[in-house]
Chains A and B, each alone.
Chain A
Amino acid sequence: MGKYIVRRLLTAIPTILVISFIIFAIVDLSPSDPTGNLPLTIPPEVRQKIREALGADDPFVVKYVKWLQQFFISEPLNFIESVFDVTFPGSEDRVRVISWATRGPVIDIIVERLPQTLWVVGSSYVLGVLIAVPVGVFSAYKQYSIFDQVGTFLMMIGFSVPTFFTGLMFIIIYSVNLKWFPSVYDTTLVVTDMETLQLQLRQMFMPVTVLTLYTTAQMSRYTRASTLENLQQDYIRTARSKGLTERVVVMTHAVRNSLIPVVTLIALGIPGIFAGALITEQIFRVNGIGQYLIIAIQGGDLPTVQTVTFIFAVLVVLFNIVADVLYGILDPRVTYS
């Protein structure tokens, strides 16, 4: 097993490098100018100086290698320094990935915005999974019952209606008409007592519900299909015929096997948390990572776009490996060759 993980991680390195090259190259094609958003009164010579200082005019290869060095060497070193409170030699003149818009390190802004994304999107993902698994299992166990029919119909609706429409409808109903929940997420809110906790929960309600609906629909469809397949297997008949109670047959025999593919799907969906947050964060003005990427794209802030997009890609590759490893741990029939 350890060997397998090491081999997968090693083979992931070339993949990640190729992806980093593709993303860097595509984004670099963009005609964006780091001085584009500055006041028009700045003379061209100064603009040229700024461009040189940010390295915007370097040849493509130089920019790419510089970025690789900044991302894979400087940033991890910085991270270690800040976490363990140590200083490596040369930490003063280490160059980090600098945003063209804020002129500050991109990673610092990501770290600042990460909690909002994790709170809103992460909690809805956990909630969605917690609801979806029992619903899916029960729906499959009572196939063709009223619960199953209504359930699958609702799952299909939740799966088909895009989050940007549910989000806007929620705002119309709950913010504009009923005035129950605020439509804009206030990030400056610090939870200190019961009152602020209540405010925090209220402002989280709509984005979390919208995303939870979508996750639940997707996951329960999958759980239902997987459980149905297992309930028809011979070993279930064997379990019933040797006189086990229905509870044991379903909970210990069927569900445990049905959840193997579901667990891998949950792992595969985690990188999607960040990408899926793009739209929801935009609707409810949550200043998380997704909104940061949109701002960077609209403002032509190339280093930010490259870095954030690449982090998404690394997450996808990593969680693919996690899913495969989990599959092997959970399902003894899978052998690593």
Chain B
Amino acid sequence: MNIMIVLIPAALFLAALGLCAFFWSLRAGQYEDLDGAAHRILITDEEDTPI
């Protein structure tokens, strides 16, 4: 059972990382335009166009 001493903090750390990432994305306004984000990936930038 000693492995739990390592595994529990590791699991909690990873989950907390996910929570922080969610808070960051919320604050960065990534939930402001969900439809637009879905469509914007379809737009080709002019520099990216192959010659």
A interacts with B: no
Residues of B within 8 A of A (CB): none
